[in-house]
Structure 1
Amino acid sequence: MTKFGYFLGCEEHDPKELVRQAVLAERAGFESLWISDHYHPWLDEQGQSAFVWSVIGAISQAVSLPITTAVTCPLVRIHPAVVAQAAATSAVLTGGRFQLGVGTGEALNEHIIDSRWPPAAERLEMLEEAVELMRELWSGKLVTHRGTHYQLDTARLYTLPDSPPPVYVSGFGEKAVTLAGRIGDGYISAGPTAELVDLFRKSGGAGKPAQGGLKVCHAADEASARRTVHRLWPTQGIKGEASQLLPLPRHFEELAGMVSEEEATASTPCGPDPEAHLKSIREYVDAGFDEIYINQIGPQQDAFFEFYARDVLPRLR
């Protein structure tokens, strides 16, 4: 049976508000949580970007829902040995309800440590080595690692959960999805593409969970919802590799200035009609995703949770 979760957006909301939303999500009937992991927001207009590991710690004590990072990049900004420690601690705090979602990241967040942004093929190599290193550390053994991309000297994790946290790998292209199937305990995607889910399963992911996420905007009327999406997430209308390559929010703002409201909202259900929301979510169900995470754009969080508890989640089930 498909599970439905809420996607906490660290780019839009401060840490206390994210914890509050997690509580509201559980009360509304959502079954799990995604949480984004950024150093910068995509746009200054979004306005926030808290340290995700502190937020996860707080959420773990406020709700009983499983939590997945969507997604953490363990390549440049934070060494995989440190991510391994953070993930292990999160798994302990949640009683084993934590999944580490990983991906190859964006220059937007990673360039703060190193201005050289590796090409996609190299980042996939780095991701595979990083996952291997983290799993070795979760064994509790003393680890020394001399790899192609990472070095580690006599490191051991002492605070460990009963079982290592599952690693879910994000992928949007053929090579990344194939890697997800080969090394991941699950798959993460942000589009309802059945072909990618099929590729994941054929590449070693058969029987493993596939998680998908989408953004929506509930509001009193469709027009105001569309304006909110265009103001806060015009980046949805930016095509190609720009989201991986641009280093600063102002660069995204420059491109976003060329994105129309229609382009920004093309994949986002807007307004108070439950049928529009149900239609978009069912596209993910039909694509074969086992878990679907929904993010409400904008400040109308309380109204969103009431709307979904009353008009959307019961009909999905």
Structure 2
Amino acid sequence: MAEFGYTLMCEQTPAMRERTPVRELVDHAALAERAGFDYAIISDHFSPWLAETGHSPCAWSVLGAAAQATRRLPLVTYVTCPLMRYHPAVVAQKAATMGVLSKGRFTLGLGAGENLDEHVIGEGWPPVDTRHRMLREAVQIIRELFDGDYVTFQGEFYDIDSAKLHDLPDQRVPIGIAASGGRSAEIAAEFGDILMINDPMPEVVERFQTAGGAGRPVYGQLAIAYDADAEAVVEAAQKYTDAGYTHLALVRIGADQQQPFFAWAESELLPALRRL
């Protein structure tokens, strides 16, 4: 049976003028747990998709607070780019600390990034084949640091000098890798514990599975607008489960009506989805 998650939307305008989006995101994590969602994901952006939305807080700060505001809810980055804005060694340290704070409820989602967020450091934007090589190298570094030993590394893009993570969770942090095509699906199969794709792409799932990822979880994301029509959501979710997705996070578009949405999700939506 598939698991269903809730998306903490950093970019959305807060529903109440006296509240900040950062505080509301932490509240939403607690509400999602109470409603019965199986996990929560959060984007890791420097800039919002649209400037008009006006918000884009630091995902890692929100995650730390959400870990303390919840007790059972797994938390996932969807996704972090370890190529430019963050050095892979720094990402590994962030993820390990989140693993400790959440008591093993954290999953590190990684991807090759977008110009929207990575251009801010002023280093330009590499072509996709270069970013794929950078991602392979970055994930290799992160995985080695998760082993807990000192790591010295000299690669095409990154150098590491005697780095060691001194605080590691009892359970190794799982790594998900985002893919949108065959090449990235192969990278996910080689280095990832999880495949992450926004849209229903059965051909990418198949490529991941044939490249060595068979049996591993596949995460997707589905945008919905709250109108209390559970069957419409179920019909859309069916496309993902039919394509082999094991996890599907709902993106609740719009900052208003959060409280009634969570109540409806608990009483109607999640039970209907779990019948898939």
Instruction: Calculate the TM-score normalised by the size of structure 2.
Output: 0.93
Q: Secondary structure of 1:45's match?
A: helix
| Corresponding residue of 1:119 | 127
Deviation >3 Å, runs of 4+: none
CA deviation string 1:25-78 (max 9, x = no partner): 111110111111000001112221111111111011111211110000000001
| Corresponding residue of 1:285 | 241
Give 1:175's match in structure 2, choosing from 179, 183, 186: 183
Unaligned runs of 5+ residues in structure 1 are: 219-270
The 8 Å contact of residues 76 and 114 in structure 1, kept in 2 or not, is answered as: no
Q: Secondary structure of 1:111's match?
A: helix
Give 2:42's match in structure 1, choosing from 35, 40, 43: 35
Per mean C-alpha deviation after superposition, the further-off stretch among 6-15 and 125-134 is: 6-15
Give 1:24's match in structure 2, choosing from 27, 31, 51: 31
Question: Partners of 1:141 and 1:29 in 2: how far apart?
Answer: 38
* Equivalences for residues 115-154 of structure 1 within 5 A: 115-154=123-162
- Measured after TM superposition, the shift of residue 272 of structure 1 is 3.1
Give 1:49's match in structure 2, choosing from 53, 56, 73: 56
Instruction: Say whether 1:200 aligns with 2:208.
Output: yes
Question: Partners of 1:43 and 1:316 in 2: how far apart?
Answer: 30
**What count of residue pairs does the alignment treat as equivalent?**
265
Question: Partners of 1:164 and 1:114 in 2: how far apart?
Answer: 34
Q: Percent identity?
A: 47
Aligned CA-pair RMSD = 1.1
| Corresponding residue of 2:11 | 11
**Amino acid corresponding to residue 86 of structure 1 in structure 2:** K
Give 1:314's match in structure 2, choosing from 259, 271, 274: 271
Question: Partners of 1:277 and 1:89 in 2: how far apart?
Answer: 35
**Amino acid corresponding to residue 235 of structure 2 in structure 1:** K
CA deviation string 1:176-202 (max 9, x = no partner): 112111211110011112222111111
- Measured after TM superposition, the shift of residue 140 of structure 1 is 1.8
**Amino acid corresponding to residue 70 of structure 1 in structure 2:** Y
**Amino acid corresponding to residue 122 of structure 1 in structure 2:** T
The 8 Å contact of residues 135 and 164 in structure 1, kept in 2 or not, is answered as: no
Question: Partners of 2:137 and 2:111 in 1: how far apart?
Answer: 12
- Measured after TM superposition, the shift of residue 145 of structure 1 is 1.3
Question: Partners of 1:32 and 1:272 in 2: how far apart?
Answer: 21
Q: Secondary structure of 2:251's match?
A: strand
* Equivalences for residues 80-99 of structure 1 within 5 A: 80-99=88-107
* Equivalences for residues 191-230 of structure 1 within 5 A: 191-218=199-226
- Measured after TM superposition, the shift of residue 217 of structure 1 is 1.0
Instruction: Say whether 1:2 aligns with 2:22.
Output: no
Question: Partners of 1:168 and 1:187 in 2: how far apart?
Answer: 6
Instruction: Calculate the TM-score normalised by the size of structure 1.
Output: 0.81
The 8 Å contact of residues 231 and 272 in structure 2, kept in 1 or not, is answered as: no
Question: Partners of 1:21 and 1:280 in 2: how far apart?
Answer: 23
Question: Partners of 2:231 and 2:215 in 1: how far apart?
Answer: 31
